[in-house]
Amino acid sequence: MPLLSCTDITLDLGGRRILKGVTLDVGEAEVVGLAGPNGAGKTSLFEVLSGRQLRHGGDVVFDGESIARLPMRERVQRGLVRSYQRPIVPAALTVGETLKAARKAYKPQPSRLKVEWAAEFTRMRVPMDAPTGALETLERRKLMLACLLLRDPRIVLLDEPASGLTGSEIDEIDLIVRKLSQEYGVAVLLIEHRLELLSLVAARVMVLDVGQIIAEGPPQTVFLEPQVRAAYFDLPLSALDVELAETAG
């Protein structure tokens, strides 16, 4: 039985159908990629799965129970957490103050050792007294993820964690995602435009276009499907072959 699944999800916004019968599932400790062009509905799907936006049709099931009517806070309490495209951390606080505030926000409160573990797990390399407003993008993403890990999630919805990062910084995100899945049994549903990250960490990839899933399977085969290239990558097959070959190597 999947840990998280959604069936025939529809969503209408501004008089337009954004999601058109989306069905997907994520197993325990599985890493699943979600790709697609801008405007395909990827973040809107995260809004529905996380409870920030109520769907207009379909169902969302977590650990065998429908959560489609539950508010976001109750989904978080059950272990379903999400990140955002822009790392949301309070610029007026220090790193330590941000982690402390996140700790106090959760009931029951995580231990101080848990806070230290979360900072170490995400490989944060900035002092606790550093102002969050001065952090580089990678460290802001790590801090946001550390705050999420204080909740002891069973699944994390990651929205473009590699956006704006360099190759070596993407390697760090790769390592964090792998450790979450392989060492701690946390499932990950990952929205990402960077082929190299999806190809490295995701066992399966689903491609969303105009609110519908158009392809699903291993990334090395899905990214080569003609309809995927036409909808998302807009690359000639030869160029894509080279990129995937380099990633696989």
Please check the confidence at residue 146 and state whether its pLDDT lies above 60.
yes
CA atoms of 226 and 186, how far apart (whole Å): 33
Domain ranges of the chain: 4-79+153-248, 87-152
Please check the confidence at residue 87 and state whether its pLDDT lies above 90.
no
Over residues 157-163, the mean pLDDT reads 93
CA angle 139, 208, 212 (to 5 degrees): 145
pLDDT band for position 79 (50/70/90)? very high
Q: How many CB atoms lie within 10 A of CB 36?
A: 24
Global pTM reads 0.88
H or E segment and range at residue 120: helix 112-121
pLDDT at 158: 96
Tens of pLDDT, residue by residue over 196-228, are 889 889 999 999 999 999 999 999 899 888 888
Q: What is the mean pLDDT of the chain?
A: 89
CA atoms of 136 and 154, how far apart (whole Å): 28
pLDDT at 233: 59
Q: Does domain 4-79+153-248 sit in CATH 3.40.50.300?
A: yes
pLDDT band for position 88 (50/70/90)? confident
Q: Which of 122-126, 149-153, 183-187, 230-234 shows the lowest per-residue confidence on average (mean pLDDT)?
A: 230-234
Q: How many CB atoms lie within 10 A of CB 52?
A: 14
Q: How many CB atoms lie within 10 A of CB 193?
A: 16
SS3 131: strand
In the sheet with 4-13, reading across from the earlier edge strand, the strands are 16-26, 4-13, 57-62, 65-66
Residue 35 near residue 198 (C-beta atoms within 8 A): yes
Please check the confidence at residue 242 and state whether its pLDDT lies above 50.
no
Is the backbone of residue 63 left (phi > 0), alpha (psi -120 to 50) or beta?
Answer: left
Query: Taking every pair of C-alpha atoms in the chain, what is the biggest distance, in angstroms?
Result: 53
From the list 229, 217, 174, the residue with the least C-alpha distance to 198 is 174
